[in-house]
Each structure stands twice: as structure tokens, then as C-alpha cells.
Structure 1
Amino acid sequence: MAEGARYCFIVRWLDPTSALIWKYQFFYNTADSSIEMYDIKNQKIFLKRVSHPEIRLEHLYIGGTFVLYSRQLVVEDYGDDFTRKELSNLQETTIAVIKPDAIDNVGKIIDIIYSNGFLVKQMRMCKLSSQQAAQFYKAHAGKHFFGHITSHMSSGPCVALELVAEDAISKWRLLLGPTDSVEAKVKAPSSIRAEFGSDETRNACHGSDSPSAAKQESDFFFKDKSLGFCAKLKHCTLCLIKPHAVFDGFAGIIIDAILKRFVITAMELVTFGRPSALDFYELYNGVCSDYHAMAQELSVGPFIAMEVCYESGDDNPVNDFRDFCGPPDAAMCKALRPSTLRAQYGINKVKNAIHCTDLPEDGVTECTYVFTHKFNPTQEATVYKNHNLR
């Protein structure tokens, strides 16, 4: 990153009232973390240069979202050749897959990902069929190990992640270590495969080996949200790791703590626009004075949604999990329930790290809303195709 640089991006905003897309040039000045915006359609300044330290350059990758003055903006492209040249290598993407043999260590591995400076652009848990696993590994069809890897990949849930970082492909593969976990334990004992893998097939994680492979694998896992759908939608509760806790790098630690007492049966990185956040929290409208603030917090960036169940899968975990998270006010938690998730990772009543289902009868409803995408995540793309730009 160049010191004192002025980077330019093309961002878009979906006006929820008119259902029109607005496009802007968005400028980020590294010298003082100030921003500017220019209205492309009307060819005039939309926002004069102003300091806004809450927005960091890390937010500004292709496909990333951030909130500015209650508007959720999507980064669509680089705005000039200088920005593209300077940042494209810094914002390379790769696909990581946490395999079925390492699913119990998913929290630890996600913590390693965040601790090593990766941003998570997309993530979802899925359970592949044998045919889908064969499709994913089709480049290895005919090789002696093909049957073993497809059988293993379809043996249980996996978690696919699209990662963003400088030289992300080589950086992730270096963290993984040699393909054979036995070899990794000797040659790279601190690598992920050495720590969590056991052999050449059950080697904990997969990593893309080239930009073209990363693109194909991203399309495989993330174009079709129904691929390998694994949410149970019964005897469950919803857990959301809120945007501030995700961006601060606490997600992996929180997931690992949850797995010590519960089972995670579905997981996805989700982004809500403000209308979806208001809709999700509608139950609190008129009941909770923080209703609008809660919706604002949930719409400022991506959060991690999880369907949480008991190991047996036969009882309702809502009350137990709510107690595990602690009271809504994180400040109160720190004094009265210091071992709870909200006490450890929350800040206040709104930025309290975790949303969890409050009422036993709402667990299935909330999980269904998120994991069957009743908030309509394709609405923006549909509007974009069917309306003229302002």
C-alpha cells in the first residue's frame, strides 16, 4: 500500500425506497483515512472529503460491503488503473475448504485464517453428495486417489471459504503445508495439515492451486446456495456472530467455544441490507428501545450465521444456548457473567458480539429465515438487471 495514496473504487447503492441503483466513484485517502464520493450519473460531488476512520482499506475489496451514513455500499470494481495495479495483488482471492475430518476443529482453523491477515469474503457449510464431490475433484478423475478423496469429501459436512489477502493462493498453501499430513508433521510441524490432518486424504483442508482454479471453485461452492444444503431446521437455535466481532477477528474463537458444548449443523457468511435487518428484528419493534440501533449494527458488514443443535439432535437448545451467550447487555455480562460469550467479546448492548434466539418456538423460524434466504439476497442483483441506473 502506497503511503499518501488516493485510491478509487466504483461502488453501488441500492435505494430501498425507489429500488434504483446509484453508482459512485469512492475515493479513499491513506494519509488521513478520509473519503470522498462522486455521483457518476449526475457528474457532481456527492460527498466532500471528510475523515471517516471507521472505514478501512481492508473493507474495500471487490464484492466487499460497508455502511456509510446508513447506506450499504457494495464495491463493484477498481475505479482507475493506479488502484487496480496497486491493490489487485494485495486483494487476491483463493478458496479454502475445511474437510469433514477437520470439521470439529473449524473454529481453530478459522481463527488461524483471521490471525494470518486473511479476510473472509464468502463462507458456507455444506454436505456434498458423492456426485458433487466428484465434480469438485474432476481435475483428478482417473488418478489412483480419486475414489478416496471423493468418498472422504462426501462423508460429512465441509466448510468452504473464499479468502482475500496479498498473494492469497501461495499464502494459504504455505499455511496448509505438504499434502500428506504425515510428511507435514516432519517438514512443517506448525502447519494446518500437520496439526489437524492424519494422512494424504484426511489432510484437514484444501487450497486452490491457481487463480483459475480459485475462480472455478468459488463458482462451484457459492453460485448455487442450495448446493449441499445441510441445515436441519428442527430442534435448533440461531447464532449470529455480529459484524464487529467478525471484523475484530473473534469469530474462530467464538465458534470453537460453541463446539465444546453444542453442534453446528449449518454455517454461512451473510450480509444484510438495512431493510433485511429491520425485518429480521421486527419482533423487537416497539418492544426494545434499541431496535433501530440493533438493525444498524447487523447491516454494517458481513456476519456469521450458525444453526446450533445438541449432539443428540432431539431437544430444543434455545434456552441453554441463550444462557451460554449471557444477558444482552455485554457490560452487565462482564460484571455478572464474565465467562459468557457476550462478556468476553461484546462491548455494549448493541455491539454484544452475539445474537441468539430468545424464545424456544422461534429457533426454527430464525434459522429458516437465514438459511433458506428468505431475506432475498439476490434482490439487489435482480433490481440491477431490471432497472436503469440513476
Structure 2
Amino acid sequence: MYRRNYFWENNSSSSSEDEESLQIERREYKMFQRIQLNTWDDVDFLNRFRLSKRTTMMVLEEIKDSLPCDERRSRELRPITQLLIALRYYALGSFQLAIADFSGVCITSVHVVLKRVSRALAELSPRYIQMPQTQNERLKAAKEFFAVAKFPRTIGAIDCTHIRIQSPGGTDAENFRNRKGWFSLNVQTVSAANLKINDIVARWQGSAHDQRIFNMSSLKKRFEDGEFEHFILVGDSGYTNTTFLATPFLNVTNAVENLYNESQIRTRNCVERSYGVWKRRFPVLATGLRCRLDTVQSVIVACAVLHNIAIDQNESQPPPEMYDFANMLAATDVPSDTLLGSASATTHNVRARLVRSYFQPMLDS
């Protein structure tokens, strides 16, 4: 204690600088203290963090054990604060520096928290992101898809969407440049009829084609092994028509093929709509991710988990007029091109069987 007093007495010339730094620290701590649930009402909280307070607290209970906090340290970030920082980043789609200014913490803390929370949320994916497991679940999924446009046996609509990222650098950076000319990850998802994400692959470069991603995925092997029995997926013409994946006819030659296409396209539209809802709720997926590649992958899966939780909890969508830019970018996510085309309509693929046994009798009646 004596040494401390002696030090301050012999450094009076720097007292003004120390006082100024102390005021800055107090001001930063005051900003830090403002990030609390009761700061905003329900509507403002939803607009800023994309989830309601009730759902946020439910998510916190799921991941709080993965968010360490030493209560003995007054400046330690509490689990709820860490979650709100991550949610604000997903909602804002901006530089991490802007999140740091909003939170009253340093940018290094934002980087650490974002990585930690995103990984904790991504680890929930086996529970919240899964294909229908039981026969009853598959029948329910097929009934929901049938109600859309009377397309039978469908348990999922598959497609890919590009998530914008900054250049990862290195010798392989150009592999991430997509056909539209910007850097991205090409993310494959399977959507349910209620727009939930039932399967996600978020590790392929933007230059990878949709069919290649599906060929290398475990989901294709599960279908080939007969896990889903006679149930099928629907996809666009960027995929090859197989026994378990129905694609549209590229050249319609008769009325029954036209009827098939109309039903298939309307059913497949569920996955396109899911991208719009997903990116509108979390604009960072539309405006672009500015972080390390491993964190990018965690953020994408984390947003998919939160998307499904929001649907399960009947969360309302944030006002679209407030996020026109994110909506505009999401709208540019057009269906895949037709580089691969589709397999010929033989008796060995699902499209030919559906036309012959289902759509032709429907048209005849």
C-alpha cells in the first residue's frame, strides 16, 4: 500500500491522463451495462435481435453451459450478454467494430464471443436440424407437401444458396468465387413444407456446383441405402433426376408433363421461400460475413438452428420494410443453372413413374 501511494505522489504529472482514461473506462462500462433484456420493449427487442425475449431466454438455457463466465470479475461478459452480442451481429450484418461500439466492449471480445456463441448454437444442430426420422414423421411431411400442390411422396425440397463472404485469402481463395463473381459458400439445404431447414451442408466453396455438393453429401447415401424408403426429394434442373430426386422436364412435350412441372415447381418453391425467410430474419446471411472461414461456417449453421427454433416457437417475422437491402440481396438468389440438365425419362427414375402412375391418371380423370 505504501508503494502504491508513493507511486501516485511521484507521478502527479500524469494524473490528468489517468483521470481521463478512468472516465473513458467508466463510460465504456456504462455502455456495457445497457445491453440488457429490459432495455427495450418486445417490439424493439425483436427488431434488434430477431428473436423475442422469451425465445432468447429459451436459447440461453440451451447454451449457457458453453458460455463461461467468472462471476467474481465485474467486467466478465455474462452468458446473456454474449448471446445478445452474437444475435446483434446476425441481425445487423455489419462490421464487428459496429457491434463492439453497440455493446461497449472491445472488438477482440466481439470476435471471441461470436466464435464461442456460434459454435455453441451450431452444436444444437443434431437436435433442431434433422430429416424426418420415423414413419409417422415422414407421412406427416409428405401430407404437408401434398397440401402445397398435390405432389406425392415428398419429404423435402433441396437446393443451394450462396452466402457472401470476404475473400479467405491464400492460394485457394479463387475457389470461393462463384459464377456471379463474388466470394461465397454454396450452402445446401433441404426445406420442409413449413420452411424449416431439415438438412444443411455449409462447407463448400462458391464455385462448387449443386449436384457435386449433393453427390458428396451423407444425405444422398442415406437415400441410396433406402433409409427413407419410397419417399423422395424435389429439386430444380441443376440436379440429376434419380429414383429419389424428382426434377422438372426441361422440354415439355405434352399436357401431362406440363401438369407434372407445375406441381413440382410449386412444391419445390418451399426451399426458395425458406431462403427468403431465413435471410430476412438474419440479414448477415444476405449482406455478407466478415470473419474467419471456420467462424463463417458456425454462423451459418447457428442461424439455421435459430431459424428452426423461431418457427417452432411461432415467432413473427421482423418488419420487412426495415430491411429492404437484405431482401434485395436475398431476392438475387435465383435457382441453379441447368449445366447438368436432367436424366432421360426412363422407367428407372422417379419422374417417369410419377408421370405414368399419378399425373397421367389425374389428367385422364
- TM-score (norm: length of structure 1): 0.24
Q: Give the greater-gyration-radius structure (CA).
A: 2
Higher RCO (CA-CA < 8 Å; seq separation 6+)? 2
- TM-score (norm: length of structure 2): 0.26
Choose between structure 1 and 2: higher helix proportion: 2
